[in-house]
């Protein structure tokens, strides 16, 4: 269990960032806190401890993240270069949005981390209409190649333009403008 003194020593993360903080291991919490400092950017925490999961999430040594506005290729490379994690995974969904898995598993080292990629899909069962989550695991390189196809200068320019339009509308909405 992580002590209050350990939680208080963190620069970027807080106990309240985690749905089950008492089930998390210090190794992953301190590693992610250090990585946030290296990136100078705070991630969205997508998933942490999962009860019943026999792998890293069930052991409290894994965190899935998204880094809005950051280059997913750079986040992936920085995570590997940081030598903070013994497991680094990268996922992409059909919309081209990437997420990252980091863990501090004990069967690998930070100098030789486990690495993989996954393609996330959310198929709908035609009989029930229910949406499920499906991950096709592949090489990290295959996922990175898909990310490269989705992170182009034109995509970035479109995102910047859309953000600018949204900001303009937000700023002018209270002034009687349409």
Has residue 176 been placed in a domain?
no
Q: Domains in the chain: how many in total?
A: 1
pLDDT at 170: 52
Query: Is the pLDDT confidence value at 152 over 80?
Result: no
Please name the helix (run of DSSP H) or strand (run of DSSP E) that holds residue 45, with its range, or none. strand 44-47
CATH of the domain at 65: 3.30.1380
86-132: pLDDT as tens digits: 999 999 887 788 999 999 999 999 999 999 898 888 778 888 888 77
How far are the Cα atoms of 6, 49, 78, 98, 145 from residue 9, in angstroms, in the given order? Answer: 5, 21, 23, 30, 38
Indicate the pTM of the whole model.
0.78
Contact 25, 1 (CB under 8 A): no
Name the phi and psi angles at 115, rounded to 5. Answer: -135, 140
Has residue 134 been placed in a domain?
yes
65-81: pLDDT as tens digits: 999 989 999 999 999 99
Query: Is the pLDDT confidence value at 174 over 70?
Result: no
39-48: pLDDT as tens digits: 999 999 999 9
Has residue 46 been placed in a domain?
yes
**What CA–CA distance (Å, rounded) separates 19 from 25?**
13
pLDDT at 160: 53
Q: Which domain holds residue 77?
A: 4-150
Has residue 162 been placed in a domain?
no
Q: Is 90 exposed, middle or buried (0-12, 13-18, 19+ CB in 10 A)?
A: buried
The mean of the pLDDT values for the chain is 85
């Amino acid at each position: 269990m992580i002590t209050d003194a350990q939680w208080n020593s963190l620069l970027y993360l807080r106990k309240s960032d985690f749905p089950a903080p008492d089930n998390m291991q210090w190794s992953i919490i301190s590693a992610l806190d250090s990585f946030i400092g290296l990136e100078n950017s705070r991630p969205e925490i997508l998933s942490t401890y999962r009860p019943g999961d026999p792998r890293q999430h069930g052991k409290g040594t894994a965190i899935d993240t998204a880094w809005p506005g950051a280059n997913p290729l750079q986040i992936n490379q920085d995570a590997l270069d940081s030598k903070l994690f013994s497991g680094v995974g990268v996922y992409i969904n059909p919309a081209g949005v990437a997420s990252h898995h980091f863990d501090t598993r004990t069967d690998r080292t930070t100098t030789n981390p486990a690495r993989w990629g996954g393609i996330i899909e959310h198929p709908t069962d035609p009989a029930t209409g229910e949406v499920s989550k499906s991950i096709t695991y592949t090489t990290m390189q295959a996922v990175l190649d898909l990310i490269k196809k989705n992170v182009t200068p034109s995509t970035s320019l479109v995102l910047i333009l859309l953000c600018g339009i949204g900001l303009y509308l937000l700023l002018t909405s209270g002034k009687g403008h349409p």
